[in-house]
């Protein structure tokens, strides 16, 4: 079965890798970085020198679709939040059209938090040593790309909150985050990430989200203790394709209907699930209109490919 685009996925963002342009501003200290983030304007390219930048940090300015704001650095440029028990290491607070490329994020309750952002790239980061989740797109964050990041060692504060990539908000938080309406963090792409050492799901897609793409990621669930799958999709009309996972306590991929009408029309195709666990490679609970391709590859799953009829 050939994977088909879901309705609305023609509007997904282009997720080809970005290159960081020549710097318009070089920073080498925490104070310089904070000032650069505060004054950032469309077209700015902030380059981080190697070193440790004590945070947390916040950006509130927006770029445009034509002129992004870039924040770039090598792995030796380390944004350090100071504690796994409070705060976001880097917060895009209603800041749109950014590109975060190449540097390291560590030692915060949450790694990169994006609230109400659109058209943003989070690319080639190393996010590690985080109290809860590593990267979170929240509060109606749409058409963003989470690309080629290396995520590890999350859930150091509370294992059940230790997701790698978290999209949207749980229904129980809608009144806090989105004025009691669904968190429509739609049309986001999570591609090419390597995710290991998470205590909760590698990728958690919440109810209220529509038409996203999870493609070509690699998961190792050896440290899962607050969840029982690599990927949990509670949203609708997501495409999950070309991913490879190993080691999980129960299932590789799951869907759930948390809210009536959600957790359906999701497509699972061309994934490889080396489960080494008691459950299914892909479990749809309930089946609803989710589609599981019979050509998904599965090894060492106690209950086989899926609880549903594959197609």
Q: What's the mean pLDDT in 97-122? A: 98
Contacts of 88 (CB under 8 A, 6+ apart): 56, 58, 81, 108, 109, 110, 111, 112, 113
Tell me if 201 sits within 8 A of 227, measured CB to CB.
yes
Q: What is the model's pTM?
A: 0.96
CATH class of the region 42-301: mainly beta
Comparing CA positions, the residue from 256, 253, 309 lying closest to residue 282 is: 253
Contacts of 278 (CB under 8 A, 6+ apart): 249, 250, 302, 303
pLDDT band at residue 5 using 50, 70 and 90 as cut-offs: low
State residue 187's pLDDT score. Answer: 98
Mean pLDDT over the full length of the chain: 96
Break the chain into its structural domains and give their ranges: 42-301
Tell me if 158 sits within 8 A of 152, measured CB to CB.
no
State residue 11's pLDDT score. Answer: 87
At 209-224, the pLDDT tens digits run: 999 999 999 999 999 9
At 150-174, the pLDDT tens digits run: 999 999 999 999 999 999 999 999 9
State residue 6's pLDDT score. Answer: 64
DSSP 107: S
At 20-59, the pLDDT tens digits run: 999 999 999 999 999 999 999 999 999 999 999 999 999 9
At 239-276, the pLDDT tens digits run: 999 999 999 999 999 999 999 999 999 999 999 999 99
pLDDT score of 4 more than 70: no
């Amino acid at each position: 079965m050939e994977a088909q685009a879901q309705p609305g996925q023609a509007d997904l963002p282009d997720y080809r890798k970005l290159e960081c342009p020549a710097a318009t501003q070089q920073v080498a200290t925490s104070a310089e970085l904070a000032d650069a983030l505060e004054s950032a304007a469309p077209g700015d390219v902030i380059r981080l020198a190697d070193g440790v930048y004590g945070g947390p940090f916040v950006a509130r300015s927006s770029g445009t679709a034509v002129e992004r704001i870039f924040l770039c650095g090598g792995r030796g440029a380390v944004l350090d939040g100071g504690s796994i028990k409070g705060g976001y290491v880097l917060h895009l607070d209603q800041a749109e059209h950014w590109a975060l490329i190449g540097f390291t994020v560590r030692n915060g309750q949450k790694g990169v938090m994006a609230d109400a952002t659109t058209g943003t790239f989070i690319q080639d980061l190393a996010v590690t040593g985080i109290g809860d989740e590593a990267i979170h797109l929240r509060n109606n964050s749409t058409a963003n790309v989470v690309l080629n990041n290396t995520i590890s060692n999350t859930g150091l504060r509370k294992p059940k909150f230790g997701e790698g990539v978290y999209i949207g908000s749980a229904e129980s938080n809608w009144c806090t985050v989105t004025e009691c309406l669904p968190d429509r963090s739609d049309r986001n792409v999570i591609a090419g990430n390597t995710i290991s050492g998470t205590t909760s799901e590698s990728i958690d897609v919440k109810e209220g989200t529509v038409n996203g793409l999870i493609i070509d990621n690699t998961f190792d669930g050896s440290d899962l203790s607050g969840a029982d799958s690599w990927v949990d999709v509670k949203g609708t009309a997501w495409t999950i394709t070309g991913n490879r996972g190993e080691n999980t306590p129960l299932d590789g991929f799951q869907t759930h209907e948390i809210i009536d009408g959600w957790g359906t029309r999701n497509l699972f195709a061309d994934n490889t699930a080396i489960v080494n666990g008691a459950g299914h490679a892909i479990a749809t609970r309930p089946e609803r209109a989710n589609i599981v391709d019979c050509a998904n590859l599965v090894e060492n799953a106690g209950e086989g490919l899926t609880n549903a009829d594959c197609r």
